[in-house]
Structures are given as C-alpha cells and as structure tokens.
Amino acid sequence: MQPVVQIVNLNLKYQQKAVLKDLNWTINYGENWVLSGTSGSGKTSLAKIIAGMQSAIGDVKINFHTDSHLPAEVLFVESWYQFKNLEGVANFYYQQRYTSQQAKDTLTVHAELVGYGKENGLHFDSVEPILAALNFSSFASSQLIELSSGEHKKLQLVKALWLKPQLLIIDQPYTGLDAASRKNLNILLDKIAAEGVQLILICNDSELPSCINRFAEIKDGQLREVNSIENAPSVTEKHSKEIPDFLKDSPVYSSQNIVKMVDVNISYGEKQVLKNISWEVKAGEKWLLQGHNGSGKSTLLSLINGDHPQSYANELYLFGNRRGSGESIWDIKQHIGLISPEFHWYFDATATVWQSIASGFYDTVGLFQQLPYSKSAQVDELVEYFGLTESKNELLSALPLGKQRLVLLARTIIKNPELLILDEPCQGLDQQQTQHFNQLVDELCNNGMTLIYVGHFESQLPTCIEKRILLEKGEVKVVESLNTKTRHCEIRSNLLHSTI
C-alpha cells in the first residue's frame, strides 16, 4: 500500500530565508504523528503545503484510500479561527465583541454548524455527542464574535471531528482549552483514529491521545523522527538579558485600590454570564485567574479593561474611581498593559514590529504619531531585549505566530503599567520563549507591578503569583492566598489537573 503522504526534497524560502531545506517525510497508513519544533521552525508552513494551501519547491504526494468511507481530503485546522460577519467581512474591532448583542452581525454557533453540515453532507444528529463531549452544547445561540479563544478552538475542533477526513492536521489543538476539554478531546481523537482518520498534531504538549505513535521535529529546516516529545532535542537556553532600566522602577500608582467589584452581574438577554461577583485587587498583588472555558474569565477582564458597556450598570471601581464618574475608556487603559488571544486577533497586522511595540504607549492597535526620542529609545531597548532586532522593520503579520506574540508581549509592558493583564500570554510560544517571558514577569513583579494572569497550563505560570480566584459558571468558586511557593505549587498542580 502506498504511503498516505510522501514528501521528497521539499524546499521553502520566505523573504530569501530558507525555512525548509530538502525536507523528506513519509507517512504510512496507520501512523498518527505529532510534529514539534521551536516557534518559526516551519511547522505550520509544512502543514499548509501538505493541505495544498501553500506552494513550495519539491515533490508532495497524497494518496487517499479509495475503499475508505471517509472523505478523501486533507483538512488543516489553523491555530485560531478565522470568521466573517453576515456580509462576508472580517474586519472586526476588539470592543465589538461586547456590543454584538445589539449589532447581531455574525452567525450563531448553531447556524454556523448547520451551514457546515449542509456544505459537507453531514447529519446534524452526529455532531451532538461531540458538542456534549467538549462541553459546547450551551453555546448554540452564541454569536461567533462573542466566543473566547478557547470557545473558538472548540468550534474548529467540533467541525473537524464531525467531518472526519482521511487526513486531519491540527495546529495547536489544545490552545485555550481547559484540562477537562483537553482530556475529552484526546478521547475523541482516539475514536476517529480508530475509524480510519490519520492525524498530524502540531504541538509541544506531552498529554496526547493514545493513538499517537510517531513523533518528529523540525530543526534547521530538516524533519527528523524522535522517540517522543520529551526526547526531542531541547533548545539551548538563552542567556538571560538584563531587564531595561526603565522597567526596573516600580509603577507610579494612582491608587492602592486597583480593582474593586461589588455584586457585579453581567447578562446577555436571559443568559447570565457573571453572577454577584465581588473581588478586590490591591496595588502590587499578583493574581491567578482560572476557570473552565465559558466560566466568565474574559467577560470579567473586559470590565477591568474598560471594554464592556455594562460596567456602568454595576458597582465597579478601577484605580480608585467608580466607573461612570466621568473617566473615559482611554483614561482606564492608560493604567493597564494587556495581552489576550482576542486582542491579538484584532490587532493591526499591517504595522511593523517596531510600530506595534510603540503603539503600547498610546493604547492603539497601530502607531499613528511620531514618538519623541526618549520613547523611541525605550522601544529599541525592548526590541533588543526580546531578540527582535532583525525583525523590527518587518510586518507583524509576516512573523511566525510565536514571534507575533512576543511583539505584543513587549507592547504590554512598554509603559510600565500599574496593572499587567496577561490572558493566556504564552499561546503560540515555544517552551524557551514561555520560560523567558515568565522570568520577565517575575522580575517585573519584584519591582511592585500588579498582575492578573490567566493560564491553564502549570508549566506556563510565573512563580510570583500570590493569590488565586477561580470562576465556575459565572460565579466566584474560590478566592485564596498562596502563602508559600510550596503551597502555591501544590494547589496549582492539584487544581490544574482536576478542577480547571
């Protein structure tokens, strides 16, 4: 029997830089692969080439099984979901997510799935068990623009698991998913693999479906098979650079009360998203915010960011002032450095790396004014600190996803904000980049910065976190102090593997 995929002497250049060099790969029937490697190594490009979405020099052959009842196609599930409004346009703005109940300008999850089912000749009753397994059934009436990153990932996965193509390639399958959803996803992947679907998962995760029986990594443009992800050659750890001087000083606090919520409620029609939330964040505190997908984390953060219009109808204090007392959204944002998957989606991809970082001074999604010399020098320092000097004049959209995220991470800290909100900041980063950034977070917070950090993965949390709030179905389930590093690690490990 011929191999499912046979790649011979594949070469790919991007802007005169060789990404893939005479790469060879044979995938036989019954093999399910994990493809790992550092950010920017060419994993996603290789997947797109196999799926026929990107051209390259070399020989790529796909041999479908003619006797299979499964669709004879390669489905590539991208690392995040690209969707459009009812008019076929995708140029959304960030705050639009929270006003979409009035706009009604995107499809609901149910309508999207109905359309997908008709397009591919699928029976709707066969998708319902998948929705239930991923705890996604309750989102049927939600508009696409309202979904969080984890919920968008679930929608991508639901479609792929429903279609069951002969070859399924998933880029970062676990991004944004809580532990329960990751476990159920692995069960679903094992099930479709038993039905004949062959898998290529692009990730660096160790908790994988049991059907995975082959491992490879891309390094220096070449693909080499390894025994497992753990046994793949590790990246040499970079020497930690000294943090720029302008970030060594403590932020100038306008108030010791950063956030105060008193019985906050948020509803969309009959659907209540947050229920009687009371929470206080003091200057200098470091909080971990956790909860299942759909528990209300993103909505809670949108109140703090000043993006949610219902903040005025609640008793909410930010930086010592009650919301609705005359301050604008931009007054609020001056105090905050933010990164989130959703913000990344809507960021101006036409800005250069340097412009993207500089825009953090003005809380815009692009740079629209000339910087004074002192601010330009600070941008240069961060560009060098994050190892982006060679890319500083490139478009943000031209970089690998991991480097794009590093650029936006640099943007969040450029003004040394009073409050740093990091909503799953390490999505798309490799292990070394994740460690590097969390070391930076620890160093910043040693100098008094206030932190709210959202993260599902134990390996992707900074050590400085002192307190924890857990949401469950829109309500506060747990608020606790993590008094020692030992207790922190115990609680973090237990909860990440059970309740989150």
Taking each helix axis from N to C terminus, what angle separates 401-413 and 373-385, rounded to the nearest 10 degrees? 140
Contacts of 282 (CB under 8 A, 6+ apart): 256, 257, 258, 450
The secondary structure of 417-435 as a DSSP string is -SEEEEESTTTT--HHHHH
Assess contact for 204 and 176: CB atoms under 8 A: no
Contacts of 380 (CB under 8 A, 6+ apart): none
User: Rounded to an integer, what distance in angstroms lies between the CA atom of residue 340 and that of residue 352?
Assistant: 19
Token pair recorded at residue 357? 């970082």
Does pTM surpass 0.75?
yes
pLDDT score of 93: 44
Phi, psi of 93 (to 5 degrees): -115, 155
pLDDT score of 400: 79
For range 67-74, the mean pLDDT: 95
Token pair recorded at residue 255? 């108030």
pLDDT score of 242: 84
pLDDT digits (tens, 9 = 90+) for 212-223: 999 999 999 999
pLDDT digits (tens, 9 = 90+) for 459-480: 678 999 999 999 999 999 999 9
**96 or 383: which carries more pLDDT confidence?**
383
pLDDT digits (tens, 9 = 90+) for 242-278: 889 998 888 999 999 999 999 999 987 778 899 999 9
Q: CA nearest 165: which of 208, 122, 204?
A: 122
Lowest mean pLDDT among 94-98, 102-106, 443-447: 94-98
For range 92-104, the mean pLDDT: 50
User: Rounded to an integer, what distance in angstroms lies between the CA atom of residue 278 and that of residue 312?
Assistant: 16
> Mean pLDDT score of the chain, rounded to an integer?
85
Q: CA nearest 420: which of 440, 447, 449?
A: 449
pLDDT digits (tens, 9 = 90+) for 31-59: 999 998 887 889 999 999 999 999 999 99
Please tell me whether residue 116 adopts helix, strand or coil conformation: helix
Token pair recorded at residue 448? 């008094």
pLDDT digits (tens, 9 = 90+) for 152-172: 899 999 999 999 999 999 999
Is the pLDDT at 235 greater than 50, yes or no? no
Q: CA nearest 500: which of 281, 152, 176?
A: 176
Q: CA nearest 428: which of 409, 405, 411?
A: 405
Phi, psi of 201 (to 5 degrees): -105, 125
Is the pLDDT at 450 greater than 80, yes or no? yes
- Largest CA-CA distance found in the chain, in angstroms, rounded: 72
What's the first-to-final CA gap in the chain, in angstroms?
44
Is the pLDDT at 1 greater than 90, yes or no? no
From the CB of residue 172, how many other CB atoms can be counted at a distance below 10 Å? 22
pLDDT score of 500: 38
Q: CA nearest 311: which of 302, 303, 320?
A: 303
pLDDT band at 68 (very low <50, low <70, confident <90, very high): very high
pLDDT score of 102: 44
Structural domains of the chain sorted by starting position, each given as residue range(s) with its CATH number in brackets: 5-226 (3.40.50.300), 245-253+283-300+325-496 (3.40.50.300)
- Give the type of residue at 488: H
pLDDT score of 129: 95
pLDDT digits (tens, 9 = 90+) for 335-382: 999 988 878 877 887 899 999 999 999 888 767 778 899 999 999 999
pLDDT score of 277: 96
Token pair recorded at residue 52? 């026929």
Assess contact for 317 and 257: CB atoms under 8 A: yes
Lowest mean pLDDT among 62-71, 112-121, 273-282, 489-498: 489-498
pLDDT score of 375: 93
